[in-house]
């Protein structure tokens, strides 16, 4: 069993996909000669050549549109969009074409398209480069949205994504690429729609994805000093969403806080909280709490940026305020 970073796990998954299927090709800005904005595709152009590793023009709409055409023609393109903020420039292609063509053709068309993109703030990149928009895409039927938090999940979920015949948004948090963890040498894959219990607890459930799972784990440590044992649930995928695991944890603890980095207003956490409230109401000892990003454009200054992103202290304070723990 090797210890890998998330960056290395995804690179391993990409190499497996390219070497295992001649229909797979990579497309994106600076993924070849520049070796990738986040160094995931370092060395790929040398190893696989320009027919499989395609540097594209700076046009997200053209990139995604060309990839959709390639997918319809029988290829399995993997697109790298440098940041999820830039995916807004291709949102028509994603939402009105990739997500709908299979349904509108009654299954006659397949769009096996995997879009890798970088999400999240915390790196002082300013308001237009620090947004967490995966929840927007998760609201669209026809898309699948994945948000891994550790190297094991990153590789296991990637293997599932690359074989899916539907479009998948694979959201990689900018601050998690260096996170390390054990990854088995033996092949494994993780099905979509299966959450993972990261920490067992009986007093309160903390639920999140991506970097917010790490925030929840740190918050659980803070709560443990008070004698409060928190259970941490990593949803792993936003669509399909594992409502059952979230509800079962809520029934067990009776108290829930949902955590997300995106803005609290209109956030995907509201969907998670609503489902728990609907299905576990009689088991709850209080309202389902939510900790989300502040409703402001992300500041550039480091201290200001940190103040608008959920932190372990904010989560622990929410547990105290809601439940008196």
Q: Are 195 and 240 in contact (CB under 8 A)?
A: no
CA distance 281 to 89: 40
β-strands 144-146, 256-263 pairing: unpaired
Catalytic residue among 8, 29, 97, 129: 129
The position carrying tokens 């576990």 is 280
Tell me, what DSSP letter sits at residue 79? E
* C-alpha separations of 216 from 130, 212, 258 in Å: 20, 6, 9
Catalytic residue chosen out of the listed positions 60, 172, 248, 260: 60
The answer to whether 115 touches 74, Cβ cutoff 8 Å, is no
Whether 129 sits among the annotated catalytic residues: the reply is yes
- Give the helix ranges, DSSP H, for the chain: 6-20, 44-48, 60-72, 91-92, 101-104, 134-138, 151-162, 211-224, 243-253, 268-280, 302-308, 312-323
Which residue, among 235, 243, 292, 240, has the nearest Cα to 267 in the 3D structure? 292
- Residues classed as catalytic: 60, 129
């Amino acid at each position: 069993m090797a210890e890998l970073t998330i960056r290395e796990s995804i690179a391993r998954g990409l190499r497996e996909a390219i070497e295992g299927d001649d229909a797979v090709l990579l497309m994106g800005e600076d993924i070849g000669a520049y070796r990738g904005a986040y160094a995931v595709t370092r060395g790929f152009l040398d190893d696989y050549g320009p027919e499989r590793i395609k540097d594209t023009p700076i046009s997200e709409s053209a990139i995604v549109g060309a990839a959709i055409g390639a997918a319809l023609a029988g290829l399995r393109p993997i697109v790298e969009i440098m940041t999820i903020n830039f995916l807004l420039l291709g949102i028509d292609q994603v939402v009105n074409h990739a997500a709908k063509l299979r349904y509108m053709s009654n299954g006659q068309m397949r769009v096996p398209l995997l879009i890798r993109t970088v999400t999240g703030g915390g790196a002082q990149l300013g308001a237009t480069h620090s947004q967490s928009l995966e929840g927007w895409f998760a609201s669209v039927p026809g898309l699948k949205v994945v948000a891994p938090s550790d190297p094991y999940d990153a590789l296991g979920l990637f293997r599932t994504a690359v074989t899916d015949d539907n479009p998948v948004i694979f959201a990689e948090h900018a601050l998690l690429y260096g996170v390390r963890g054990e990854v088995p040498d033996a092949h494994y894959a993780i099905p979509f729609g299966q959450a993972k219990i990261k920490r067992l607890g009986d007093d309160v459930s903390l639920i999140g994805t991506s970097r917010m799972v790490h925030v929840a784990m740190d918050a659980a440590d803070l709560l443990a000093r008070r004698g409060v044992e928190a259970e941490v649930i990593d949803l792993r995928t936003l669509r399909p969403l594992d409502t059952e695991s979230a509800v079962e944890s809520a029934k067990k603890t009776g108290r829930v806080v949902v955590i997300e980095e995106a803005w609290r207003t209109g956030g995907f956490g509201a969907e998670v909280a609503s489902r728990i409230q609907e299905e576990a109401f009689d088991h709850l000892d209080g309202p389902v709490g939510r900790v989300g990003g502040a409703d402001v454009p992300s500041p550039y200054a480091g201290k200001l940026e940190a103040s608008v992103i959920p932190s372990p202290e904010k989560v622990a304070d929410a547990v105290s305020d809601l439940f008196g723990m």
